């Protein structure tokens, strides 16, 4: 596999572990602990950043492949449905509504009744389903930042790592 960055052997091993997908947390942590950060700290941090960038690139490639495969799956499903509709119409047109072959059994039958709602239909309120209320975190954040006191709600400031 071609890599975005040239890695030292110790970081190459870490990247190889991550490239395998799900890995055992204990084995992964043991490997990372084996990389001594006391010596050459900045070089080690660069190694971490390189691996993070490479794993993100791998994730993006997997996402693109997933989308491609999803589109291919949809095309297969559409083709199968098109063939099913053509066979259904041919059976109705010829009057062959039920028959068997050596491989399959075919029949045209009535589906269970379903509801069709026309545009502009006046549906009474008793047939509507209510959705559960949803909490708006943005409105809560705005209220708390403006000084509102709401029991069980607080603004928290966390930390994150930024790599540029």
* Three-state DSSP state, 99: strand
Contact predicate 47/7, CB 8 Å:
yes
Cα(66)–Cα(60) distance, integer angstroms: 10
Cα(117)–Cα(141) distance, integer angstroms: 41
Tokens of 19: 């490239």
Tell me, yes or no, if the pTM score tops 0.85.
Answer: no
Question: Average per-residue pLDDT in the chain?
Answer: 86
Say how many Å lie between the first and final Cα of the chain, rounded.
24
Cα distances from 41 to residues 99, 111, 149, in angstroms, run 76, 69, 44
Among 12-16, 36-40, 63-67, where is mean pLDDT lowest? 36-40
Is 90 exceeded by the pLDDT of residue 7?
Answer: no
Cα(138)–Cα(144) distance, integer angstroms: 10
pLDDT tens digit string along 90-145?
999 999 999 999 999 999 999 998 999 999 999 998 899 988 999 999 999 999 89
Query: Angle at Cα 54 formed by Cα 61 and Cα 52, nearest 5°?
Result: 125
Among 15-29, 79-93, 110-124, 141-155, where is mean pLDDT lowest? 15-29
Is 70 exceeded by the pLDDT of residue 3?
Answer: no
Is 50 exceeded by the pLDDT of residue 1?
Answer: no
Residue 98 DSSP one-character state:
E
Tokens of 79: 């083709």
Tokens of 42: 């900045």
Cα(129)–Cα(74) distance, integer angstroms: 31
The pLDDT confidence band at residue 2, using thresholds 50, 70 and 90, is: very low
The domain limits of the chain are: 9-110
Percent of the chain scoring above 90 in pLDDT: 52
Contact predicate 89/95, CB 8 Å:
no
* Three-state DSSP state, 106: strand
Which one has a higher pLDDT value, 29 or 72? Answer: 72
């Amino acid at each position: 596999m071609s890599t975005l960055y040239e890695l030292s052997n110790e970081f190459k091993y870490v990247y190889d572990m991550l490239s395998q997908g799900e890995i055992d947390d204990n084995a992964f942590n043991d490997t990372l602990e084996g990389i001594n950060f006391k010596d050459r700290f900045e070089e080690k941090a660069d190694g971490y950043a390189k691996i993070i960038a490479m794993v993100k690139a791998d994730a993006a490639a997997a996402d693109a492949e997933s989308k491609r495969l999803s589109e291919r799956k949809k095309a297969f499903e559409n083709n199968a449905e098109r063939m099913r509709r053509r066979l259904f119409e041919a059976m109705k047109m010829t009057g062959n509504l039920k028959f068997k072959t050596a491989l399959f059994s075919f029949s045209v039958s009535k589906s269970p009744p379903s509801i069709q709602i026309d545009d502009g239909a006046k549906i009474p309120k008793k047939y509507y389903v209510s959705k559960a209320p949803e909490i708006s975190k943005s409105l809560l954040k705005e209220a708390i930042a403006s000084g509102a006191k709401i029991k069980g709600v607080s603004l928290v400031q966390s930390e994150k790592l930024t790599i540029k």
